[in-house]
Structure 1
Amino acid sequence: MGGKVWSREEEEFFWTKMVPHSPKRLGDDLQNEEQTWDWICEQMTHGMGDKARRTYTYLCVFEHYFQNAYLGRFSPKVGKLHLKYYHDEQAKKKAKEQLIKTETAAPDSDGTANNASAAGTSETQIKLEPEGAEGNPIELFTTPKKMASPTRVRLEVPIFGPTTGALAFSLGASRLELNRAGSYAQGGTTPTLPELTALLASLTDHHHHRPTIHVMIRPRGAPDTGPDFVYSPSEMADMAASIASFATSGLLDASKGDGFVFGALALTEDGGVRLDGAGNGMLVDAAREAGGFGCVLHRAADELFADALLPGEVMEEVVA
């Protein structure tokens, strides 16, 4: 994940002006015309202006909604802005779990237990009265009993600890970015081997196949002063050691696309930042030498675009 924590101004603009137009709009929001997440990215960029703290991409804004409203991992400045959507998502989640439990327990005509994943594509509409909502049932979206295979959706979801991996996969994630539990406010940091072990165990319990796993390699969050993603030699050595430890653990599988996510920057003479070619190269070499694992440059690239006058030059540097 990486990047700066959302400011209060960003949170207010997103939850009060953008989400009510999004595919997740509900209640009074329905009087608004539904817009796409790409449209929301454009409006966020225009509306925040010089107060923007990041490049607003589809993954950036949808991830922010998903973490706060669905997973209940609240960002530090969100306050109560998201609660309407959080309660709605939790109600829908509970309804889905109850439906799956009911379908799994109900016997088929031959007396065998019904498997919800083998159900047809007929649709079921559910009403649920959530806790604390007296006399105010929420009508949920019409949801097919059988969803399309999640592996067909090319969506990466960052998770913070192993407990939500199976849920994210069941909702369509084809790749999971594993961060250390409790590191959301820091933008995600390197997880532990036990966390990776627990994640893989949870996926094995629920699925015959699993999504691709990318392990975040980031030793700390942003410093109190100075740019983020600029690391000392000792921190770079720790990152390389972490890659070697995960790669040689036998838990990851390069043939499934497993790999690592990181990004290192270096200071320029004028106080700006540039991509640390030597540092990133060392980490890529460590991943390849330990088992041919792939690597992804994470949102350290956002700092390059924020600091650069010519985005095209940044892209040439990243590609190179």
Structure 2
Amino acid sequence: MAEIQNVAVIGAGTMGSGIAHVFARSGFSVTLCDVEQRFLDRAIDSIRKNLGREASKGKLAEADVQSALDRITTTVDIESLASMELAVEAAPERFELKAQVFAALDRILPPSAILATNTSSISITKMAALTKRPAQVIGMHFFNPVPVMALVEVVRGMATSDSTFATVYEAAVLLGKTPVEVNDAPGFVSNRVLMPLINEAAFAVMEGVATPEAVDQVFKLGMAHPMGPLTLADFIGIDVCVDILRVLQEGFGDPKYRPCPLLVRMVDAGWLGRKSGRGFYTY
């Protein structure tokens, strides 16, 4: 099993900055890469705040905040990642974009390095086939907010080797996460089960069965969910939900995954949930 010390995280958005945070907090050297310095600066600000919050809650020593930040380097030059043992791609959930990043990483990284993707629904097998190292390609699906959520879905593609799986599983444990082994299929386990729930909840609202508040209350009080499916959809991003439903629909060829027209209209209107200030609720 390979020893991982130097980790690249590609994409400095919500997920990428969270992934960089947990690796740095756990003692790994992290290089965070994105196309523009302003995205990187924003990510470092966010990581600094979140580490500070952990320290104020007593989950982290004050001294560890600065040492974690010191372990993160930022770069806009993907070519500078040539010495990394593990790269975690956290680009937006679009196959063409992820494929582009993977092709560059495959060319730049040493032959022994592992390529992981934080995709929430795209085929690991398909991503692996774009590279010269399919045995070293794996899914490492973190959940938002990354520093708080315990789960990592570790997703094996058809070609993923046992040693790649063992290395990434062990890395997830070192991050203080609970890794769960999943085989490659559209949406893995999490989104294959969650997205039809969110979709049906949206149909219930569209058809006038109940208001978003009522739907969410049923799940909070009746099923003991910490938040209802429509609050969760706003948190994930309505656009991301629609993208994943389309991956499921295409991947399984089954019309039951067709995105609810209300969700599609909300995306068209720019009502993407929390990040845009309006979704099923106003923020």
TM-score, shorter chain, exceeding 0.5: no
Structure with max Cα Rg: 1
Give the helix-richer structure, 1 or 2.
2
